[in-house]
Amino acid sequence: MGNMNTGASDNSARPAANQAAMSAMKLLAFEADVRQQSTRDDLLGHLLNQSRSVLDCNQVMLLRPSGRGWHVERASDVRSVDSSSELVSTVEHLVKESWDLRGTDESRLEFTLEGDQKGVSEYPFPYGCLTCLGDAENPNTLLVLFLRETPFNEQQKALIERLSDVYGHALTAVSGRRHFGSGGSSSRWWRRGLLLFAIAVACIPVHLSVLAPVTVLPADGWQLKSPLNGVIRRMNVAPNETVKAGDLLLEFEDLELRSSASLARQERAIAKARAEQVNVEAFSSQDAAYLLPIRQAEYLLAEEKARYTEAKFKQARIYAPMDGMVMYSSRRDWEGKSVMVGEEILQVATGKKIRFAIDLPTSSAVQVSTGQSVRVLLNDSLNGGLPAKLTVISYSPVVSDAGGMVYRLMAELDQSRLQADAPLPRLGSQGTAHLTGERVPLIYQLVRHPLQLLRQQIGW
């Protein structure tokens, strides 16, 4: 009989053990599902909606700290929380009073929504259990309020504590930083320190600097500007060719000039013959004596016209006034081109002295002055830059070869800061000039161009 009773007890205990094992397996699977949530929103959504099936509760509310109280941020089965509703205000008030008056070792509280409180009389879930996600002493922690129709039993309370730990650890993991640990206060101080450091760095005074294109030009050369309006027939020397004084550089189309000079010579000869004839007749004729001054004046005018046309004809052929290297773009650019008086065509330079032409864009202009140091970095040089000093600063902007508006600056090479055997840069070399202006905060140097664009857009 005794053996029979023991067997019956074992058989009755097996279903209970199996049920407990099944519950434990379900809880472990649920916790694994919690840890699978990859974002904060997904995790909090899982807490509001999926935890109710495990805890057998009807609604879940999530509260975050707000000033000196608590604010209902989200609730299950509700798309958005109306913070002005009486129910939400009552819940926030009760949570503040209950949580602030709890014991130092308490991380879970229970309370009941009384029927005489505002907005609660028709609410069907009056029994609540309040817990936190993470450290209860951290002012940044989140609170979770579980609500149901009947009071929570001891098993449900223990399960609430376990799930609050699980969700708290998962929330810390997905947040990527310790929002809910004991380091919350130190994290805030760390962020404040970084902010102050960034502000201090942004206020460091630096020289306002700008980069501008630069070209090497001769400082001792001769510029050929067109002496007449005409068409260039032939460039007799190639670009960068060395010439001697007296070498022919170029020729203009001279057919019209040649004809004008020949006609002027003929008119001078006729005027001279007329003057001589009247001079002979003046001895015997009174009329011829009166006509003589007129014929002499006509001869003088014809003589002057002949000299002028001859001089213009000679200007159709340009000769080098000095030894040096001829600098211009290309024969194709100039042969057959019509030019105006004063238009620059070429230069003849010795290359013994150079200067730098700097085109400072108006959009990047800084305050500079003559005598100021400039660092020139040429594209065909690997040295650390050439020292130069500003000598000329244009008063108004001009149109550059690239079509932009620039201030034309001229700088001379500072020979005193060069080595004795250092070679001079090649004429025509191009590069970048580094200019500095007044001292400004570092942040202004970094945002100067975006700020200028913004001011142009809004007119400020």
The CATH number of whichever domain residue 41 belongs to comes to 3.30.450.40
pLDDT given at position 321: 92
Residue 7 lies in a domain: no
Tell me, yes or no, whether 362 lies in a domain.
yes
* Residue 40 shares a structural domain with residue 113: yes
Domains contained in the chain, number: 4
What pLDDT is stored for residue 8 in this prediction?
47
Is there a domain that residue 411 lies in? yes
Q: Same domain for 305 and 333?
A: no
Pick the last residue of a domain from 350, 372, 403: 350
| Same-domain status, 30 and 174 | yes
Q: What is the pLDDT along the chain (460 residues), one digit of tens a residue?
A: 344 444 444 555 566 566 767 777 888 888 888 888 888 888 888 888 888 888 889 899 998 888 778 889 889 888 888 888 888 888 888 888 888 777 666 778 887 877 666 667 778 888 889 888 877 777 778 889 999 988 988 888 888 888 888 888 888 888 764 444 444 455 678 888 888 888 888 888 877 888 899 998 888 888 899 999 999 999 999 998 999 999 999 999 999 999 999 999 999 999 999 888 888 888 888 888 888 888 889 999 999 999 999 999 999 999 999 998 898 889 999 999 999 999 999 989 887 788 899 998 887 778 888 888 898 988 877 777 888 999 988 888 888 877 888 999 999 988 777 766 677 888 888 899 988 887 888 787 777 767 767 766 776 5
- Same domain for 293 and 241, yes or no, is no
Q: Are residues 54 and 97 in the same domain?
A: yes
Residues 55 and 169 in one domain: yes
In a shared domain, residues 345 and 356: no
| Residue 255 confidence (pLDDT) | 92
What pTM does this model have?
A: 0.46
CATH code of the domain containing 322: 2.40.50.100
* Count of C-beta atoms within a 10 Å radius of residue 385: 15
Q: Write the CATH number for 429.
A: 2.40.30
Same domain, yes or no: 46 and 181? yes
Q: Strand pairing of 354-361 and 230-235?
A: unpaired
Does the residue 142 lie in any domain? yes
Same domain, 171 and 57: yes
Tokens of 143: 């609170």
- Domain housing 391: 351-458
Does some domain include residue 414? yes
Residues 341 and 359 placed together within one structural domain of the fold: no
Q: Is residue 124 part of a domain?
A: yes
Q: What is the pLDDT of residue 111?
A: 76
Q: Does residue 115 fall inside a structural domain?
A: yes
Domain co-membership, 63 together with 179: yes
| Structural domain contains residue 431 | yes
Task: Verify that 118 and 37 share a domain, yes or no.
Answer: yes
The whole-number pLDDT of residue 459 equals: 63
pLDDT digits (tens, 9 = 90+) for 332-359: 999 999 999 999 999 898 877 888 999 9
